[in-house]
Amino acid sequence: MNRLRLALPLLLLTSPDLLADSRDDALKLPNVVISTNRQVQARNDSSAANSVFTRDDIDRLQPTSLTDLLSRVPGVQVAPTGGRGSLPGIYMRGTKSAQSLVLVDGQRIANTTSGDSGLQYLNVDQIERVEVLRGSRSVIYGSDAIGGVIQVFTRRSAEQGLQPRLKLGFGSNQTWERSLGLSGGDEHTRFNLGASLDETAGINSTHTSFPSDGDHDAYRNQSLSLNLSHSFSDELEVGFNLLDNRGKSEYDNSFGRYDAATGQTLGQKPYTDYTVSSASGYVDAALNERWQSRLELGHSENRDTKRDTLSDDFSVFNTYRDSVNWQNDLTLNDQNSLILGGDWYEDRFHGSTTFTENSRWNRAAFVQHRFHGEWFSTELGLRRDQNQQFGGQNSWSGTVTLPVNPDNDVLLSYSEGFRAPTFNDLYYPDTKYSNPNLQPETSKSYELQWRSQLSDSTRLEASLYRTDLSDAIILDSNSKPQNVASARINGFEAALKQELFGWQGNLGLSLIDPRDRDTGHTLARRARRTLSLDLDRQFDTLGVGASWQAISSSYDDEDNTHRLGGYALLGLRSSWALNREVALSLKVDNLLDKSYARARYSYNDPGFLNNQDYREEGRVWMVGVTWTPEI
C-alpha cells in the first residue's frame, strides 16, 4: 500500500480547511487511528500495536456484543461469567481487566470501586468504531493503561441529508434486538440520534445449588446515543457526545444468603439494575497553520444496584467522574511535532456502604515529541500525575522507528505504566478488606514490532514484547489487598490480512507466557495460545462469512489447581441486500454446539461443593432485517 496515501490523514491535520471534517470523517476510515495520541494519524505511523473495527466491519462480522468483537483482537482474551450481560474478564497482553483503560468518545467509564468498565453493557448498534491499542499508553492517558487502551466511538452521521435506519432481530433463547436511528446534517452541522432495546431470556449459567438457582438469567439493555457537531468556520468546531446504557441483568449466587433468624442458608434470585453512561462536549480549534487545540469536558456514571427477588436485600454502588482534557498539537516544522496537554478528573462514590473517603482527584501534565526523518523516526514522551491519595507518579515512553524499505518498518519501544488502587482497595470501611497504604501498580514494557506490506493484498503486523509488573495488588489469605505480587509476561502477536480470490481474511495469533514471579504459576484465566480467523466474501448482493476461534487451556485460579480446558468455536454468517433499502442477515455461533468454560465460580476453598464452571451458550442463531429508507 502506498505509504503517502496512508500518511495523508496525518498531513490533513495541519490544514485548517479540513478541520471540521478530519475527525468525524476519519471515524469511517480503516487505515487511520485516533486513540494513540488523541489525534488523527495513519495506523502505520502509530507507535502502538493497534486494531481497528469500523462500522462496516461491525455490520459484516455481526458480533453479539462488544466483548465478542474484542475476542478477535490478537492478545485480547475475554472470560465472561455466563451468558449475555454477565461480568467479563478482559485480559490484554496478559494483564487483568482493571489494568486496561476503556474510553467512550474519550471519556473514562470504569467503575472506581471495582475497576470494571461495564463493557458487557455497551450496545454494538450504537457504536461507530472501536480502536484497541495493545501495550502501555500511560504517557497520554495516565492510570490504568498498563495493558492497553480500548476506545469506543459512538455512531456518527455518514453524509449530508437525512438517513433513517431501523433494525429488528430475533434469535435463540428468546432474544430480541431492536434499534432505530436518524442521522444527517449539512456542510456545517452533523447529528446522529439512535436508540436500542435488547432482551433475552438467557441461559442457566451455573449448576443448581438451590431450587431458586435453576432459573435462566435474563438480560435487558436499553441504549441511547446522541452526537451533534457544528462548524462555525474552517478553523472552529464544537460538539457534544452522549451514550447511555441501562437495564437489568440477572445472575446466579450459588453460595446462597445466610438468614440470621433461622441460621440457614437460603437461595436467592439476584439481579443488577445498571447504568453506564458518558457525556462530553468539546471545542476544536486550528489557532494557526501549526497549532491545533482541543478542549474536552466530560462526565461519566457507572451505577449499580443489586437486588434479590426473594428478599429485601439490596446494595448500591454508584460512581461518578467529571473530567477536563486540554491538548495542543504543534507542528514545529516538516520533521518535528509536539503534543502538550493537561488532564484533570475527579471520582466520587455514593452508595449503601459508607466508605472512609468518597472522592478523590487526579491532575496531570504531559508532553510528547515526535521526529520524522528519512532514515528513522522517534517518539519520546513524559507525563506527571498528581493524585490526591497516592501522590506523584512519572511515566516515560520512547519509540524508534526504522523504515527498512518503503514496505517494511521495524519499531523498538519502551514504555512505563501504572494503575492507581480502586476505592474498594483503599477506602472500604472494614479495614480487614481495605488498605489505605497501598501504592500504585507499576509496569515496564519492552517491544519489538515489524510491519510489512508483503503485497498489494497482504499485510502482516507482528510484535514481540515483555512486560514486568511490580507492586501488583492481590488479596492475601485474609482478603486484604497488599502490594506484594510481581509478574513477568512474555508474548508474541501477529495479525495477517489477506485478500485472495475475492475472499477477505483476517488472522490473529497470540502466544503468551504470563507468570507470577514469586510462585512461578501461570496467571489466572490467561490461555497461552489463541488463534482467531475471519473469512468473508461478497457475491454482488449476497455476503457470506465464517469465524473460527481456538483457545488453549488455562487455569482459573492463581494456585493453578483448576484447569479450564481448551476449545475451538466455529460460526457462520450471511447477509443479503434485497434492494437499496432492505437487507437481511443470518448468523449461527458455536455451530458445532461445543461445551466449554472460560471461568468458574468458587469460594477460595478447593473443597467447596459449588466450585464449578460457568456455562457458556451452546449453538445459537440470530436473524435480522435492516431498513434504511431513502428520504
Task: Dump pLDDT digits (tens) for 421-449.
Answer: 999 999 998 878 889 889 899 999 999 99
Percent of the chain with pLDDT over 70: 91
Q: What is the per-residue pLDDT for 22?
A: 61
Please, where are the H alpha helices in 86-200? 138-141
Domain limits at 511?
A: 3-627
Cell numbers given for 289: 497553520
Residue 283 has pLDDT above 60, yes or no: yes
Q: 498: pLDDT confidence band, cut at 50, 70 and 90?
A: very high
Q: What is the per-residue pLDDT for 611?
A: 59
Residue 577, amino acid: A
Q: What is the per-residue pLDDT for 475?
A: 79
Q: How far apart are CA 145 and CA 556, in angstroms?
A: 24
232: left (phi over 0), alpha (psi -120 to 50) or beta: alpha
State the Cα torsion 385-238-118-67 to the nearest 10°.
-110
Instruction: Tell me if 472 sits within 8 A of 441, measured CB to CB.
Output: yes
Residue 9 has pLDDT above 80, yes or no: no
Average pLDDT value for the chain: 90
Domain total for the chain?
1
Buried b (16+ CB within 10 A) or exposed e, 127-138: bbbbbbbbbbbb
Residue 299 has pLDDT above 80, yes or no: yes
Q: What is the per-residue pLDDT for 15?
A: 38
Q: What is the per-residue pLDDT for 213?
A: 63
Phi, psi at 254, each rounded to 5°: -80, 0
Q: Please give the sequence-ordered ranges of beta strands (E in DSSP) within 256-309, or none if there are none.
A: 257-259, 264-266, 270-288, 291-308
Cell numbers given for 413: 519501544
At 164-218, the pLDDT tens digits run 999 999 999 999 999 999 999 998 999 999 999 999 999 888 766 656 566 788 9
State the Cα torsion 23-25-30-31 to the nearest 10°.
-60
Q: What is the per-residue pLDDT for 162?
A: 92
Instruction: Tell me if 109 sits within 8 A of 530, measured CB to CB.
Output: no
Instruction: Tell me if 217 sits within 8 A of 93, measured CB to CB.
Output: no
527 HSE (CA, 13 A, CB side)? 27
Residue 610 has pLDDT above 70, yes or no: no
Q: Please give the sequence-ordered ranges of beta strands (E in DSSP) within 20-126, or none if there are none.
A: 32-33, 41-42, 49-53, 76-80, 88-92, 100-104, 107-108
Residue 276 has pLDDT above 90, yes or no: yes
The helix (run of H) or strand (run of E) holding residue 20 is: helix 19-26
Instruction: Tell me if 76 sits within 8 A of 124, measured CB to CB.
Output: no
Q: What is the per-residue pLDDT for 494?
A: 98
Instruction: Tell me if 105 sits within 8 A of 155, measured CB to CB.
Output: no
142: left (phi over 0), alpha (psi -120 to 50) or beta: left
246: left (phi over 0), alpha (psi -120 to 50) or beta: beta
Residue 271 has pLDDT above 50, yes or no: yes
Q: Of 51, 61, 44, which is closest to residue 4 (Cα–Cα)?
A: 44
**Which value, in Å, is the radius of gyration of the alpha carbons in the chain?**
24
Q: 485: pLDDT confidence band, cut at 50, 70 and 90?
A: confident
Strands 100-104 and 148-154: parallel
Residue 254 has pLDDT above 70, yes or no: no
Q: 242: which strand partners?
A: 226, 279
- Section 53-57 average pLDDT: 96
Q: How far apart are CA 343 and CA 322, in angstroms?
A: 11
Residue 281 has pLDDT above 80, yes or no: yes
Q: 20: pLDDT confidence band, cut at 50, 70 and 90?
A: very low
- Section 2-12 average pLDDT: 38
Instruction: Tell me if 595 sits within 8 A of 577, measured CB to CB.
Output: no
Q: How far apart are CA 2 and CA 406, in angstroms?
A: 8
Q: How far apart are CA 581 and CA 163, in angstroms?
A: 11
Q: 337: which strand partners?
A: 331, 370
Comparing 187-196, 264-273, 460-469, which segment has the lowest mean pLDDT? Answer: 264-273
Q: Three-class SS string for 343-370?
A: EEEEEEEEECCCCCCCEEEEEEEEEEEE
Q: 346: pLDDT confidence band, cut at 50, 70 and 90?
A: very high
Domain holding 402: CATH number? 2.40.170.20
Q: What is the per-residue pLDDT for 300?
A: 96
At 503-545, the pLDDT tens digits run 999 999 999 999 999 889 999 999 999 999 999 999 999 999 9
> Greater confidence, 485 or 549?
549
- Section 256-260 average pLDDT: 65
Helix (H, G, I), strand (E, B) or coil at 426: helix
Q: How far apart are CA 98 and CA 416, in angstroms?
A: 16
Strands 563-564 and 567-577: unpaired
Residue 160 has pLDDT above 90, yes or no: no
Q: How far apart are CA 132 and CA 48, in angstroms?
A: 9
Q: Of 243, 241, 195, which is closest to residue 222 (Cα–Cα)?
A: 195
Q: 266: pLDDT confidence band, cut at 50, 70 and 90?
A: low
Instruction: Tell me if 306 sits within 8 A of 272, measured CB to CB.
Output: yes
DSSP annotation of 48: S
DSSP annotation of 16: G
Spatial neighbors of 393 by CB under 8 A, at least 6 apart, are 143, 384, 385, 387, 418, 440
Q: 574: pLDDT confidence band, cut at 50, 70 and 90?
A: very high
Q: What is the per-residue pLDDT for 259?
A: 66
Q: What is the per-residue pLDDT for 260?
A: 64
Residue 19 has pLDDT above 50, yes or no: no
SS3 content of the chain, % helix, strand, coil (to 5): 10, 55, 35
Q: How far apart are CA 578 and CA 590, in angstroms?
A: 27
Q: What is the per-residue pLDDT for 33?
A: 96
Residue 367 has pLDDT above 50, yes or no: yes
Q: Of 585, 559, 588, which is closest to residue 571 (Cα–Cα)?
A: 588
Residue 330, number of CB atoms within 10 A of its CB: 16
At 98-120, the pLDDT tens digits run 999 999 999 999 888 888 888 99
DSSP annotation of 337: E
Q: How far apart are CA 47 and CA 443, in angstroms?
A: 18
At 302-343, the pLDDT tens digits run 999 999 888 888 899 999 999 999 999 999 999 999 999 999
Residue 1 has pLDDT above 50, yes or no: no
- Section 482-495 average pLDDT: 92
Chain centroid to CA 417: 18
